[in-house]
Amino acid sequence: MELTPRQIVAELDKHIVGQNEAKRSVAIAVRNRWRRQQVGEAMKKEISPKNIMMIGPTGVGKTEIARRLATLTGAPFIKIEATKYTEVGYYGRDVESMVRELVENSLGIIRSAERDKVKEEAEKRANDRLVDMLLPPLSARARRQSEEDEDEGIEETDPEDLSDSELSRKIRHDRNREKIRKMLEAGQMEEKTVNIVTETRAVPMIMSNMPGMESMELDFQEIFEKIAPKNRTTRKLNVKDAREFLIEQECDHLLNKEKIQSAAIELAENLGIIFIDEIDKIVASEKQHGADVSRQGVQRDLLPIVEGTTVQTKYGYVRTDHVLFIAAGAFHRSNPSDLMPELQGRFPIRVELKDLTKEDFVRILTEPDGSLTKQYYALMQTEQVELQFEPDGVDALAGYAFSINQKMQNIGARRLYTIMERLLEELSFDAPDRPGEKVIIDAGYVRERIDELCKDEDLSKFIL
């Protein structure tokens, strides 16, 4: 969260071509989350997030900006589809469930951070348990007897009272345990097998189609988990896998659940970001019946969440006053003005993403860290086949993508996926039989495999 807006844009530029206005708006909004945390408490309450609405055709980078933003920020972030929500009373999900998902995401962030703090102690405890499994303490039985004797008022036997043979055996045993401990730390016993006892509960899955009942279902699930009998099973694992399992167990024992839940709610309330995709799909048409009634209802249900309300979760109450909402939609059959005026007002920053040009397609194929040309190069390398994309070949690919988008439905950069698959279909099939070959993708190679289809207007291969 300490990234500057310029740094955020620079990181987004590594993966997304163009759309500078959208990147700048998102970067400023994210930075403002950090700025708000630095002001005094009185002013902090007054500063509300400036929600963003991104408008643009499909395949131009709206969702990709959100996805990459999630990896950049240390804040709770969820991406949801507006179309999966319906008005209460219709089949679908309750709008408030998006806040519950945000809290679950926040919980994962806090738990991960707290886990890192106790991991060293957990690893130490796990190693102690592994030593006990590989060579149980000689005094384990004696310790149990000692506890029983202590309850009866009998004093524990002093080590000095042991006979010479018993003392010698104890010293030798302790020395062997120390040797095993050092071998474990050196990684010399990773393939040794140990028995791990696991406890599970037979909890029935609660399936319900009642909208708005997700929270109640989770509560029932939690109740059953507490009252259901435990099933103990013994699993044979090698030391390497057993160590990971034991570390997880010890971390759970060391973590303070109440503290984690409280911190997760605070993090979600102050730094949470919810990305609502396909918001244009909840715009009702002129006919006000059937699904359109539900779409209008989703807008009404969404309004208080975006304005600021309190939502009950199984970890406590969560206020949404300072959650940042970023909405996105193509709006090719409707306009942002078709949304409820109150909902429009809660998204004061409007950003319009532009259609992709042929030059944009060239950059998309070559510039990003994970561009399609680099992906296919890496895939073919696994078969010892070397792909070489020439500039004129990339230019031809971009030209076909742009041309087909103009003739058919414009699906933006997603068109490149279908063209690349068609271009390399034969090579992908034959690659295991062609190790050591070098394949040059130039304009001629591209035309040979794609031009014929375009001339015949047989574009069915390119329709997603």
> Considering Cα of 181, then 185, then 190, then 195, what sign does the dihedral take?
positive
Residue 122: the pLDDT is 87
Distance CA 72, CA 3 (A): 9
Number of domains comprising the chain: 3
Instruction: Please choose, from the candidates 250, 246, 249, 248, the residue with its C-alpha nearest in 3D space to the C-alpha of residue 121.
Output: 250
- Let me know if residue 67 belongs to a domain: yes
Q: Per residue in 137-190, pLDDT tens?
A: 765 544 444 445 445 444 444 555 556 777 777 788 778 888 888 888 787 777
- Let me know if residue 463 belongs to a domain: no
Q: Which one of 321, 337, 352 terminates a domain? A: 352
Distance CA 338, CA 296 (A): 11
436 — alpha (psi -120 to 50), left (phi > 0) or beta? left
For the beta carbon of residue 425, count every other beta carbon within 10 angstroms.
Answer: 12
pLDDT by residue for the chain (464 residues), tens only, comes to 578 889 989 888 888 888 888 888 888 888 888 888 888 888 888 888 889 888 888 888 888 888 888 778 778 888 888 877 765 544 456 788 889 999 999 999 999 888 888 888 888 888 888 888 877 776 554 444 444 544 544 444 455 555 677 777 778 877 888 888 888 878 777 778 888 777 665 555 554 445 445 555 556 666 666 666 667 777 788 888 888 888 888 888 888 888 999 999 999 998 888 999 888 888 865 554 444 546 677 888 888 888 888 888 888 899 999 898 998 888 877 888 888 888 888 898 888 888 888 888 898 888 888 888 999 999 999 999 888 999 998 998 888 888 888 877 778 888 888 888 888 888 889 889 888 888 888 888 888 888 766 655 555 555 44
- Let me know if residue 142 belongs to a domain: yes
H helices of 336-390, in order, are 341-345, 358-366, 372-381
Torsion of CA 225, 229, 230, 231, to 10 degrees: -120
- Let me know if residue 464 belongs to a domain: no
Residue 338: the pLDDT is 84
Q: Which one of 309, 334, 352 terminates a domain? A: 352
Answer yes or no: are the C-beta atoms of 341 and 397 closer than 8 Å: no
Residue 271: the pLDDT is 86
At 77, the amino acid letter reads: F
Supply 444's token pair.
């001629």
- Let me know if residue 330 belongs to a domain: yes
Helix (H), strand (E) at residue 275 = strand 273-277
Enter the pTM of the model.
Answer: 0.74
What are the DSSP calls for 44-105, one per residue?
A: HHH-----EEEE--TTSSHHHHHHHHHHH-SS-EEEEEGGGB--BTBSSB-TTHHHHHHHHH
Residues facing residue 414 across a β-bridge: none
Distance CA 94, CA 319 (A): 17
What are the DSSP calls for 168-224, one per residue?
A: HHHHHHHHHHHHHHHHHHTT--TT-EEEEEEEEE-PPP-----TT-HHHHHHHHHHH
Residue 149: the pLDDT is 46
Residue 146's domain comprises 117-151+162-262
Task: Indicate which CATH number applies to the domain containing 420.
Answer: 1.10.8.60
Task: Indicate which CATH number applies to the domain containing 73.
Answer: 3.40.50.300
Residue 89: the pLDDT is 47
Q: Which one of 307, 323, 352 terminates a domain? A: 352
CA dist list (Å): 133 to 156, 174, 175, 405: 25, 14, 16, 64
212 with 129, same domain? yes
User: How big is the chain, counted in residues?
Assistant: 464
Residue 339: the pLDDT is 84
Q: At residue 88, what are phi and psi to the nearest 5 degrees?
A: -55, 130
- Let me know if residue 20 belongs to a domain: yes
Distance CA 246, CA 125 (A): 8
Distance of CA 338 to the CA centre of its chain: 32
Instruction: Please choose, from the candidates 330, 327, 308, 328, the residue with its C-alpha nearest in 3D space to the C-alpha of residue 317.
Output: 308
247 with 124, same domain? yes
Distance CA 54, CA 61 (A): 10
- Let me know if residue 75 belongs to a domain: yes
235 with 295, same domain? no
139 with 256, same domain? yes
Distance CA 46, CA 66 (A): 26
- Let me know if residue 432 belongs to a domain: yes
Distance CA 353, CA 369 (A): 22
28 with 89, same domain? yes
Supply 137's token pair.
């303490």
Supply 197's token pair.
């006892």
Residue 461: the pLDDT is 53
